[in-house]
A and B are shown apart, each in its own frame.
Chain A
Amino acid sequence: MARSPLRPRGFDDLGLQRALSDRLLPFLVAAMAFLAALALAGFFAAAQLARHWQQGAAASVTVQVPAPSAPAAGAGAAPATRLKRVLALLRKDPAIASARALSAAELNALLRPWLGAESRPLALPLPAVIAVSLAQPTASLAGLGAALGKAAPGTLIESHGVWAGRLTALAESLQASAAVALLVVTAVAVAVVAVATRSGLATRREAIEIVHGLGATDRYIAARFAARATRLALLGAIAGAAASLPVLLTLARVAAPFGRLEAPAAPLAIPTAGLPPLLWLALPLLPLAAAVIGYVTAQVTVHSWLRRLP
């Protein structure tokens, strides 16, 4: 069929199909998008981990009550054991979300690593252990500690906040590293598009000079380069983001116990497939971001290059 002499769609007056390769640039952008997806996943996963540790471990406190069955100090008309008194005091405190004494079986389970698997009752006088959840991880327990000590002298409050704080700091530094990696990937993507555009400008110099001589504005010429760079970056980033998905899903399954203590039995069955929910929003934005990088970088590069023409 004879080609219509009418302007075809995507009329390539500058011959950019030859200049901006439809293989190399999309491949490089795909690699950048793949790395960006990993960095984004790291960023959101580290944020989720930090949040989890802050809300979980940092809000947990263990209270040990020695001689739990002994009568509490200052017992009046209604005598109570030290354990019951401590529990009552804990449950009354507004900073405490819940307080629950561990059963003998749970205590045995805790001690098993040190004392062996024998289930014989121990002759040692064991303290009672109360698992406490704080309403706020930052709540101060100083006043409560004094009150508990008064009701049941020798009671110990062991906060998990220090370890949780350290783990949170670790997660936050991971998050910062992921953010830096994302910035570096963005900078490299800008450089890749700029180099490809400059190479295209050098290759098509004669065509650009002819079109410029015919009265094409800088905007006209830059728009053609930008359209091509945007399209190639978009396609590359779609491929890169899609390629990252299987890797991310695999990593999510492997890392599930770290981010979620109650690891789901079938991670792929839940809507987020084990990935941080925000990642599902961010992944489709990657090709859009790549397209914006392609458009802006090509525009700036071409405009600055065209300044050399009169």
Chain B
Amino acid sequence: MVRFEQVGLSYPAHGPGPLAPVLYDLSFSVPEGGFRWLVGASGAGKTSLLRLMYLAVRPSTGRLSLLEVDIGSARRRQLAGLRRRIGVVYQDFRLLPHLSAFDNVALPLRIDGRSEGQIRADVVEMLRWVGLSGKLDSPPETLSGGEQQRVAIARAVIARPRLLLADEPTGNLDEVQAERLLRLLQELSRLGTTVIVATHNRGLVSRHDAPSLRLDHGRLVC
């Protein structure tokens, strides 16, 4: 469950002066297992909204509740535990360049303290599913943009998160791969994961009917 109650977000402006607001009075909720498109023009605040949900920032105003945890009053350690239950596909992938594809995908499981035997089985299966079974040992710099994106997707879903956030997850994928990814996200949603996907891809949105959160200049318009 994701619940926003009059949430606003402001970033510190460069140099002294007032904070620069980027999101205003957002109120909405997404139930457990819900699927939402997050749409809006560039600069509308999609990434800022995702940042709030993957706990890179805390709300400046209002009340945000994620997976039954009130973010305003949560303790630091609690937030770390919450992050382990949230999977994120970043627009810029954010893979660790010194680690292989295998180690990048395994990272959430290792942070969660899973056994290496289980990690090996899960990661090998996940990389096989995204079509990278031949590139387990490849560092990200040797992979194409599409392959890096698939590693990022694999890392986001490997720990079976309860909330999955994706920022333009199909930007570097061909149509076939994009459709395949969408089917995976919908399957995760059907199994109970709340999924929110930010995208500019109107074709994708029109082919996969789901409620949308539309942002315009930092405000929710529908």
Name A residues whose Cβ lies closer than 8 Å to a Cβ of B.
Answer: 2-3, 5-7, 11-13, 15, 18, 206-207, 210-218, 220, 310
**Residues of B close to A6: CB separation below 8 A:** 116, 120
Q: How far is the CB of B19 from chain A (nearest CB, A)?
A: 16
B102 CB contacts on chain A under 8 angstroms: 5
B111 within 8 A of A: yes
Which A residues are in CB contact (< 8 Å) with B116? 6-7
Given contacts A215-B108, A215-B112, A310-B55, contact A13 B84 (CB under 8 A): no
Q: How large is the interface on B (under 10, 10 to 19, 20 to 34, 35 or more residues)?
A: 35 or more
**B positions within 8 Å CB-CB of A:** 54-58, 76-77, 79-86, 88, 94, 96-100, 102-103, 106-108, 110-112, 116, 119-120, 123-124, 136-137, 155
User: Do the beta carbons of A213 and B80 come within 8 Å of each other?
Assistant: no
For the complex of A and B, 8 pairs with smallest distance between CB atoms = A215-B84, A215-B83, A15-B98, A5-B102, A217-B80, A216-B111, A5-B136, A214-B108
Contact A218 B137 (CB under 8 A): no
Least distance between A206 CB and chain B CB atoms (Å): 8
Residues from chain A with Cβ under 8 Å of B76 in the complex:
218
Whole-angstrom CA separation of A210 from B140 in the bound complex = 15
Please report the C-alpha to C-alpha distance between residue A214 and residue B161 in the assembled complex, in whole angstroms: 11
Cross-chain contact A11 with B111 (CB below 8 angstroms): no
Instruction: Indicate if the CB atoms of B103 and A214 lie closer than 8 Å.
Output: no
Which of the residues A211, A215, A310 comes within 8 Å of B56, measured between beta carbons? Answer: A310
- For the complex, what is the distance from the CA of A217 to the CA of B112, rounded to whole Å? 10
Indicate if the CB atoms of A213 and B56 lie closer than 8 Å: yes
Given A210-B94, A213-B88: 11 more A-B contacts, CB < 8 Å: A6-B120, A7-B103, A7-B110, A11-B110, A15-B96, A213-B54, A214-B83, A214-B108, A215-B81, A217-B77, A310-B79
